[in-house]
Amino acid sequence: CSHFCNNFIGGYFCSCPPEYFLHDDMKNCGVNCSGDVFTALIGEIASPNYPKPYPENSRCEYQIRLEKGFQVGLALLLKLECSGASTAHCSLDLLDSIAGDQQFGPYCGRGFPGPLNIETKSNVLDIIFQTDLTGQNKGWKLRYHGDPMPCPKEETPTSVWEPAKAKYVFRDVVRITCLDGFEVVEGRVGATSFHSTCQSNGKWSNSKLKCQPVDCGIPESIENGKVEDPESTLFGSVTRYTCEEPYYYMENGGNVEKRERQYHCASNGSWVNEALSPELPKCVPVCGVPREPFEGKQRIIGGSDADIKNFPWQVFFDNPWAGGALIDEYWVLTAAHATKYPQEKEAEAGGSLELFLGHTAFEALQALANLPTRSASFFPRHRQKAQTNFDNDIALVQLKDPVKMGPTVAPICLPGTSSDYNLMDGDLGLIAGWGRTEKRDRALRLKAARLPVAPLRKCREVPKADAGAYVFTANMICAGGEKGMDSCKGDSGGAFAVQDPNDKAKFYVAGLVSWGPQCGTYGLYTWVQNYVDWIMKTMQENS
């Protein structure tokens, strides 16, 4: 017997001390030390009878079951004293522990060859203590504790974690904020931050969410210009806008010309310029630059044909037969009497006009589609009822659709308001039109001439074709004087174009063909500089 032997006549039987049980062989005693379950986050476990010798021939099983999110840690408090040698294969008494597919042990002999602290990375641990029939030793004692499951600290260059810690564990909550230019995209909704919780499995919730570069999308196109295809549409990417040169330029504040404008993808998801504004650049028609400068000295009355590239701003009015000057993609400047006002009401005078441009030949013009007009605006003090008063003879015709600029179509510039644009006697200007010539009442092809500015008295001194009391005012320019070089009936409303004093490559509309005492002598032109404020105000209010 391993413990108590009880003799009787003819035989004996074995028995065990209290808390022991007799094995099936009816000789050996063992300890009933299995079935204990430990759920507290900290505790101690020891071999039976510790620190007294542990029983032989026993198998003790201890179960540690912690809440998910905690991992079992072990620390040996006292030296291990078991039978057998401290080898990799314990043949006698042994202490072993298993956590899932991990095994820590077996350990035996004296001392403890394993680590003093064991991190199991599991919330479940089974401890097994097995003894054989021989030897009795002091045994062992250990302490276990539940450590919160750690979650990895993910260092990324695109976000900031708050609060910042050296280590994050189960139930820790962090706010992850994207750096400027990055966002969290979930479905179609973008945000700049999100919360994440360290879970029981050691992984972060919302782990699929990442701070990604903001995507500005495809840059918006612009009228009369183009946008460069960017290599990327993400934060920090760059694109460039340009205008269709040489017919358009990029407005850059104060009408300053600029060849291109750079935009970058900003943190708010918009393409912005160097001033951080999302406002798109505007391509404005280049004014006053003919594709081929006018070199001839043709006369409108009985001269040779002009080239439309010399006068790309020239507009033809079919009914009534007259001219005009394109000054903007939506606006034509002309003489008030060249419209149907006052024969028609002012509100209706511009709506029935038929306008053409882009060619010199009358027949070719008529074959082109006319420019639908929206309205006509007249200077407030223009109230021409008598055929002898052409004061304030100026009108603006608004087009329904914008005109596309090109080699044969371009606006003429307006005069500046500075003294540089004050005309002097002898200054040369260009006129063009389809009006009366020496041989015909109406020209079939565009004619042109170069005329000098003359004192107003020169126009007064010309004998009148009739006995009318014509009015001469400071709103009129007198030009002409060379025999036969003059505008005439049918040329009304066309531009008197003068070279810009500040940019010799450009021309501005100094005057509009208005009236004359007699064709082929001197002519009178509406002085446009006096009306620049009214022109700008009218266009802005009706844009």
Digit-coded pLDDT (tens) for 139-164? 888 899 999 999 998 878 899 999 99
Distances (CA, A) of 129 to 32, 101, 214: 12, 19, 60
Residues 180 and 254 in one domain: no
Percentage of the chain lying above the pLDDT 90 cut? 50
Residues in the chain: 543
Catalytic residue among 2, 307, 337, 391: 337
For the stretch 420-456, pLDDT in tens is 999 999 999 999 888 765 555 567 788 888 899 999 9
In a domain, 25, yes or no: no
For the stretch 247-261, pLDDT in tens is 999 987 544 566 789
Q: How far is CA 423 from the centre of its chain?
A: 48
Residue 521 has what pLDDT? 84
Residues 329 and 232 in one domain: no
Q: Which of 132, 148, 164 is the last residue of a domain?
A: 148
Q: What range does the domain containing 467 cover?
A: 304-541
Residue 288 half-sphere exposure, CB side, CA atoms within 13 Å?
A: 21
In a domain, 219, yes or no: no
In this structure, what token pair is assigned to residue 22?
């007799």
Residues 505 and 421 in one domain: yes
CATH number at residue 206: 2.10.70.10
Rounded-to-integer distance, Cα 345 and Cα 424, Å: 37
Please work out, in degrees rounded to the nearest 5, the angle formed at the alpha carbon of residue 68 by the alpha carbons of 63 and 69: 120
In a domain, 532, yes or no: yes
Residues 518 and 462 in one domain: yes
Residues 175 and 76 in one domain: no
Residues 155 and 272 in one domain: no
Q: Are 301 and 484 in contact (CB under 8 A)?
A: yes
Residue 439 has what pLDDT? 53
In a domain, 14, yes or no: no
In a domain, 351, yes or no: yes
Determine if residue 132 is labeled as part of a ligand binding site: yes
Residue with tokens 């029983």: 55
Residues 63 and 175 in one domain: no
In a domain, 477, yes or no: yes
Rounded-to-integer distance, Cα 9 and Cα 156, Å: 85
- DSSP structural state of residue 453: E
Q: Which of 123, 148, 173 is the last residue of a domain?
A: 148
Residues 177 and 75 in one domain: no
Catalytic residue among 307, 492, 500, 514: 492
Catalytic residue among 307, 391, 393, 500: 393
Q: How many CB atoms sit inside 10 A of residue 85's CB?
A: 12
Q: Which of 125, 148, 171 is the last residue of a domain?
A: 148
Question: SS in 3 state form for 138-152?
Answer: CECEEEEEEEECEEC
Residue 363 burial by Cβ neighbours in a 10 Å radius (0-12, 13-18, 19+):
exposed
CATH number at residue 136: 2.60.120.290
Q: For this structure, is 492 an active site residue?
A: yes
For the stretch 21-73, pLDDT in tens is 888 888 888 777 878 899 999 999 998 888 888 887 788 899 999 999 999 99
* Closest alpha carbon to 355 in 298, 394, 400: 400
Determine if residue 7 is labeled as part of a ligand binding site: yes
Residues 311 and 431 in one domain: yes
Q: Which helix (H) or strand (E) element contains residue 381?
A: none
Which whole number is the average pLDDT over 342-358? Answer: 65
Which whole number is the average pLDDT over 272-301? Answer: 83
Cis? peptide before 219, omega within 30° of 0? no
Q: For this structure, is 393 an active site residue?
A: yes
Residues 429 and 531 in one domain: yes
The count of domains in the chain is: 4
Q: Chain-wide mean pLDDT for the chain?
A: 85
User: At 374, is the pLDDT very low, low, confident or very high (cuts 50, 70, 90)?
Assistant: confident
Distances (CA, A) of 134 to 50, 83, 88, 156, 308: 18, 8, 20, 60, 122
Residues 120 and 79 in one domain: yes
Rounded-to-integer distance, Cα 104 and Cα 108, Å: 12
Helix (H, G, I), strand (E, B) or coil at 35: coil
CATH number at residue 386: 2.40.10.10
Rounded-to-integer distance, Cα 374 and Cα 319, Å: 16
Residue 329 has what pLDDT? 94
Residues 234 and 271 in one domain: yes
In a domain, 293, yes or no: no
Q: How many CB atoms sit inside 10 A of residue 460's CB?
A: 14
188 pLDDT exceeds 90?
A: no
In a domain, 7, yes or no: no
